[in-house]
Amino acid sequence: MYKAVATLVVAIFACTQLSNAAVPAAVGLRSLVGLGDPKWEIRDGNCTHATMTDLIYQEHVHKHRLPFSTRDATVEWFGDENIYCVMAISEKVQATGSTVEILRGGVGHNFVSLHMKSAKNHGLEYNIQIFGKYKR
């Protein structure tokens, strides 16, 4: 049993180390492992059980489009609560090409830094919600 689990862990690690062109399945594995690849939206942590009483930060980020350029924004939050859910939900369709990524902190920390970037000739619009509880 332990040998099978160890083999699986080594196989997953090996796939994440290979380039995405060499192993198409590595694209999915990289997003599962969370190596910091930008995504269209983020729902990180235990967000299915998040309650509004645990909402510790909320922000609506909106940058209008500028011709021939990209837009970006950074949101940072620091506090005493332990983060258990980070959501960055785009108000624009996925085809517009905006991305968001967690630069620092996040789930399990008391701080988070999110970076959003639009595609060229598009704006960006995200609803950011961070849920957490005080450490005991």
* Structural domain count, the chain: 2
Question: Tens of pLDDT along 34-81?
Answer: 445 678 889 999 999 999 999 999 999 999 999 999 999 999 999 999
Domain region containing 24? 1-36
Contact yes or no for 55/109 (Cβ under 8 A):
no
Q: Do 31 and 48 share a domain, yes or no? A: no
User: pLDDT band at 24, cuts 50/70/90?
Assistant: very low
0.85 cut: is pTM over it? no
Residues 77 and 91 in one domain: yes
Q: Is the pLDDT of residue 134 over 80?
A: yes
Do residues 111 and 77 lie in contact, with contact meaning Cβ atoms separated by under 8 Å?
yes
Residue with tokens 């939206």: 41
